[in-house]
Structure 1
Amino acid sequence: MADRDAHPLDDPVGASLRGRHAHLARRLGDAVAYRQDVATFCSVPADPDERAWADLARLLGPGELADLFSLPATPPPDWEPVFSVEGRRLIWPGGPPPAGSGEVAELGDDSVPEMLDLVARTRPGPFWPRTREMGVYLGVFDGGKLVAMAGERLRPPGWTEISAVCTAPEARGRGHAARLVGALVSRVLARGDRPFLHVAEANTGAIALYERLGFRTRGPVTFRGFRTP
């Protein structure tokens, strides 16, 4: 039975995959995960039993990455730890979106090669060939070349995550990230959702930017990945 007191942001991956991202999901029993070319994120119910972990292991396959994102549950001992990163979750507290200036372009399927190239050069976080299908992605072009982008990722009920915020090294310091995030906040609010985002605790520059734009910390999170047995 679902916990009536659970908040959508307690398990944003599971809440997204069982809701607005159901068309991007793989499922087996109590386990759910994104399709491999969309994202590595997966989820099991809160306080999972052995069957839930077995479902997830079969769903992903042997020796595969189980990216549990911010899920606090710990898998069985034979699941090999791969990474653990301390971070925080920030939310939009309310009020109008930040003011912005300058044009941004909506990125479509034809932009995916450039998006993948920009991600490879800037490493904002996981991004795969079909990640763009998780939501709207916006970009800034300079001389016909994509130099900055940001987009929507997790979509738990009532919320939209802003992610993949990145700028090419040669285009930094021009306000592109602030412009893109502001434009996304406006779009998210316009359809009745609240924006939120995640950031590694060590990324102090990004935290300062988001706080300057108006985001406020909701709490700490730990991002963890394991290798299935």
Structure 2
Amino acid sequence: MVAGHEGAAALDDPVGESLRGHHSHLARRLGSAATYPTPVATFSAVSAAADAAEWDDLARLLGRGELADMFSCPAVPPPDWEPVFTLEGRQMIWTGDDRPDPPRAEPDSGVVELGSADVSEMLGLVERTRPGPFRPRTHELGTYLGIRERGTLVAMAGERLRPPGWTEISAVCTAPEARGRGHAARLVRALVARVVSRRERPFLHVAESNAGAIALYERLGFRTRGQVTFRGFRTP
């Protein structure tokens, strides 16, 4: 476990902090409740001591029968909100040198920046690999990088939540036929360099059951800040 880190309190509520800050242009708000447009993300935020009125505001924002991905929010909704999922995970922060050597670009590396023209391929890769939530406009949250082999997108990773001073690395995935070639490590290193160049600190979340990913992130300089529980609910 990592000891206290300057500015790490923002990571206790990464969704809310992002919606109040760097992603405020994407935020949908009603009272103290906030969420992203559904095509971007289903992540939603309420205060840690949310009352019934605040949950009602979030329900009105989302609409009836819609998914509220509460991420790691500790607040519990009213009983008429249907539980959809619970996932145990951990939050990891990068503890390497503040000025890492930028990754050397290789002529045949195939690393490219992804955008709106690549959404269909990105969604296809996510469908095959299941790295976590990814929607048609999720790429608007930050920079996404990919690796192509013979013109086909086989690996990607990108930036998601942006609480003050931090950037989350997310959607790290590799097609089954392209695994074992170091693609995930190269993409994460490239993103770390980008984040640190902005004088921000990289962090990420990973399912507790994904031992292989945890080991990879530890080799790349990430350390566990704490365990988290991810929860999703359906609005009444």
Calculate the TM-score normalised by the size of structure 2.
Answer: 0.92
Q: Does the CA-based 8 Å contact 1:98-1:182 persist in structure 2? A: no
> How far apart are the structure 1 equivalents of 2:25 and 2:100?
30
> How far apart are the structure 2 equivalents of 1:11 and 1:169?
33
> How far apart are the structure 2 equivalents of 1:79 and 1:15?
24
Task: Map Cα deviations across residues 24-46 of structure 1 (whole Å, 9 max, x no partner).
Answer: 11111111001000001000012
* 1:202 pairs with one of 209, 213, 216: 209
Instruction: Compute the displacement of 1:94 (Å).
Output: 3.6
Q: For structure 1, which segment, 92-101 or 206-215, has the greater mean C-alpha deviation from structure 2 after superposition?
A: 92-101
Unaligned runs of 5+ in 2: 1-6
Instruction: Compute the displacement of 1:167 (Å).
Output: 0.3
Aligned residues: 225
Specify the alignment match of 2:82 in structure 1. 80
Does 2:55 align with 1:53? yes
Q: Does the CA-based 8 Å contact 1:97-1:182 persist in structure 2? A: no
Q: Does the CA-based 8 Å contact 2:129-2:175 persist in structure 1? A: yes
> How far apart are the structure 1 equivalents of 2:232 and 2:120?
27
Equivalences for 1:61-210 in 2 at 5 Å? 61-95=63-97, 96-97=99-100, 100=103, 102=106, 103=109, 104-210=111-217
> How far apart are the structure 2 equivalents of 1:159 and 1:203?
23
Specify the alignment match of 1:23 in structure 2. 25
- Percent same amino acid among aligned pairs? 72
Match of 2:225, SS?
Answer: strand
Calculate the aligned-residue CA RMSD, in Å. 1.5
> How far apart are the structure 2 equivalents of 1:19 and 1:45?
15
Instruction: Compute the displacement of 1:112 (Å).
Output: 1.0
Q: For structure 1, which segment, 197-206 or 50-59, has the greater mean C-alpha deviation from structure 2 after superposition?
A: 50-59
Match of 1:185, SS?
Answer: helix
- Counterpart code for 2:54: A
Q: Does the CA-based 8 Å contact 1:57-1:228 persist in structure 2? A: yes
Specify the alignment match of 1:41 in structure 2. 43
> How far apart are the structure 1 equivalents of 2:78 and 2:84?
14
Q: For structure 1, which segment, 73-82 or 215-224, has the greater mean C-alpha deviation from structure 2 after superposition?
A: 73-82
- Counterpart code for 2:230: F
- Counterpart code for 1:34: Y
Instruction: Compute the displacement of 1:183 (Å).
Output: 0.2
- Counterpart code for 2:81: W
Task: Map Cα deviations across residues 60-118 of structure 1 (whole Å, 9 max, x no partner).
Answer: 11111110000011111111111000000000114144875543211121111111111
Match of 1:40, SS?
Answer: coil
Task: Map Cα deviations across residues 144-186 of structure 1 (whole Å, 9 max, x no partner).
Answer: 1111000000000000000000001110000000000000000
Calculate the TM-score normalised by the size of structure 1.
Answer: 0.95
Instruction: Compute the displacement of 1:6 (Å).
Output: 8.7
